[in-house]
Structure formats: C-alpha cells, structure tokens
C-alpha cells in the first residue's frame, strides 16, 4: 500500500473528489471508468448502502490504479472492511480514536472529520493533518474555514469540505489556503448512477477536473 503522504497528495492534486452512494455494485466499475476517462480518477464511495463494500471491491479489482476512497466510515469495523475491500484511503464525517486506530492497523490513509476548534485539535493530537469538514454548509462554510486558518494554519492542518459544496461555490473553497480538496455529491448523484446516466456524469466530471488550482 502506498504511503499516506503519497495517497493524500494524489487526492490533493485532483482537488475534487466525487462523493457517491451506490445501490448496485454492478454500477461501480462503469462509474469509475466514466470518472477516469473524464480526467477525474478518484471517488469516495460512502458506506451508506449495502452494496458499498462490494462496489469498492469491484473497482479495486478492475482498476487498481484508480484513487479509490471509502467514506462515512464511522465504526472501526467499517474502516477494516473498507481496507480489506481494497480502498486506498478512508474518510469519516467525524473522528474517533477507535477508527483512527483501525485505520493505522490496516495501513489505510485516513481523513477524520472535524468542525470545531476542539475537534480539529483532537485530530492534530492523533497525528491527522488532513481533515474532513462536514457538513460544510451547515457549519459556516468558507467563513468558518477562514477563521480556523488563524489558529491552525501554522500546524499544517488542511481540510476537505463536503456538504453544501456546489458548482457555484467550489472555486471559492478551492482558493482557500487551508483546503486541500473538496468533496462533491453533485458530480455523480445517486439517481444518475442508478439510471446509468454516464454521459451526464462524465460532463460534470470533466468540468470538475478543470477546477484544479
């Protein structure tokens, strides 16, 4: 498995991560191929559906070079399952010592979540400098991230805001010095994946790929 710095540096280079919910694992590989061909070879498959683990395993088997993430990892066994399925990085909306320990044991680069100064401090104490900021829109979005940069910018803490990030504001998020990437649900909505609307997803993915700073 690649070192954490390499994996998360690759996420940062792509800048925009499609965050997806997959109901049928058969759609996973076509989705990943669509994203890769559009110039955005990265995804965060949220573990919110029964098909999520099989979807991650299918992409890992067919596209080993794809930057495959697993999200909504809120329990240690979910972290372990994602790593065993072949995820190359994990993401959580929050932070728990048990999940961080499971990620370390599995060798899975892990992005915990935080929205308050105390939570950011806890992530830093655990050694995590790449942090998810969710739900970004509900917790002040750009204004809050700017405010957090004051006390935490010197530490190297950088964020991946998700939730409320849209095409009309994504450029503002990516312009912030303490944002290393954004998570976007608009690129591949659940209903488009279920219906196999690959052309529509490809169009949005191409546009997102062009947003890299």
The catalytic residues are 44, 132
Whether residue 180 contacts residue 17, with contact meaning beta carbons closer than 8 Å, is answered with no
Q: At how many degrees (to 10) do helices 76-85 and 52-62 cross?
A: 30
Which contacts (CB < 8 Å, 24+ apart) does range 86-93 have?
86/56, 86/57, 86/59, 86/60, 86/61, 87/45, 87/56, 87/60, 88/1, 88/2, 88/7, 89/7, 89/8, 89/11, 91/44, 91/132, 91/160, 91/183, 92/132, 93/132, 93/134, 93/135
């Amino acid at each position: 498995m690649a070192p954490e710095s390499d994996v998360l540096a690759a996420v940062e280079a792509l800048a925009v991560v499609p965050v997806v919910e997959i109901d049928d694992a058969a759609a996973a590989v076509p989705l990943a191929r669509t994203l890769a061909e559009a110039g955005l070879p990265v995804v965060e498959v949220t573990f919110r559906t029964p098909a999520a683990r099989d979807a991650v395993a299918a992409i890992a088997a067919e596209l080993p070079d794809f930057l495959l993430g697993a999200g909504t990892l809120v329990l240690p066994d979910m972290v372990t399952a994602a790593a065993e399925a072949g995820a190359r990085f994990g993401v959580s909306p929050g932070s728990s010592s048990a999940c961080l320990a499971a990620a370390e044991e599995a060798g899975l680069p892990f992005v915990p979540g935080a929205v308050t100064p105390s939570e950011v401090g806890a992530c830093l104490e655990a050694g995590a400098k790449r942090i998810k900021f969710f739900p970004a829109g509900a917790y002040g979005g750009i204004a809050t991230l700017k405010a957090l940069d004051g006390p935490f910018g010197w530490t190297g803490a950088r964020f991946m805001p998700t939730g409320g990030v849209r095409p009309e504001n994504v450029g503002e998020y990516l312009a912030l010095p303490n944002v290393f990437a954004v998570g976007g649900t608009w690129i591949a909505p659940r209903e488009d994946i279920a219906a196999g609307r690959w052309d529509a997803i490809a169009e949005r993915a191409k546009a997102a790929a062009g947003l890299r700073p």
